[in-house]
């Protein structure tokens, strides 16, 4: 059985340096997993169970990294698009509700003014008829 040494020097917001017997590398950790120069891991939500994969060796080196990063970028774009459409829908709904409330206020002011004018007209006609 071989001994392994590994030490992580934490940085700001998930970034850090990994020091091991084979050298120093950087990585980024989030609540979903980590990504570094030697590979990536994805947390499954089950304690102690993660999916780990390296970037590959030989002539296939880097293709798995490209695929993984493409998937992550696509998910990020889908997420941002969903957030933008959700906020646009909320803004549109807010505008519709505010316009409806404004039209109701204007209608009630107009109706009140019209009733006041009609009551004043009735008072004037009663004064003139005496």
Inform me whether the pLDDT recorded for 88 exceeds 90.
Answer: yes
- Please tell me the predicted confidence (pLDDT) of residue 1: 46
- Please tell me the predicted confidence (pLDDT) of residue 62: 62
Q: Kind and range of the H or E element at 10?
A: strand 6-10
What is the pTM (predicted TM-score) of this model? 0.45
Only one residue has tokens 């030697």, namely 38
Alpha carbon 45 to its chain centroid, in Å, reads 21
33 phi and psi, to 5 degrees? 155, -160
Question: Over the stretch 8-54, which tens digit does the pLDDT of each residue have?
Answer: 777 777 788 878 777 787 788 777 777 777 777 777 777 767 677 76
The mean pLDDT of 80-98, rounded to a whole number, is 97
Closest CA to 33 of 45, 16, 19, 17: 45
Structure tokens at 67: 């695929």
């Amino acid at each position: 059985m071989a001994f392994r040494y590994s030490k992580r020097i934490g940085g700001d917001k998930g970034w850090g340096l990994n020091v091991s017997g084979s050298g120093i590398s950087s990585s980024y950790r989030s609540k979903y997993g980590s990504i570094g120069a030697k590979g990536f891991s994805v947390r499954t939500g089950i304690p102690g169970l993660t999916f780990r994969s390296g970037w590959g060796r030989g002539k296939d080196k880097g293709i798995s990294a490209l695929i993984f990063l493409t998937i992550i970028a696509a998910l990020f774009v889908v997420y941002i698009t969903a957030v933008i459409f959700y906020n646009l829908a909320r803004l549109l709904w807010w505008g519709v509700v505010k316009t409806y409330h404004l039209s109701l206020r204007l209608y009630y002011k107009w109706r009140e003014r019209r009733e006041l004018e009609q009551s004043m007209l009735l008072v004037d006609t009663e004064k003139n008829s005496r």
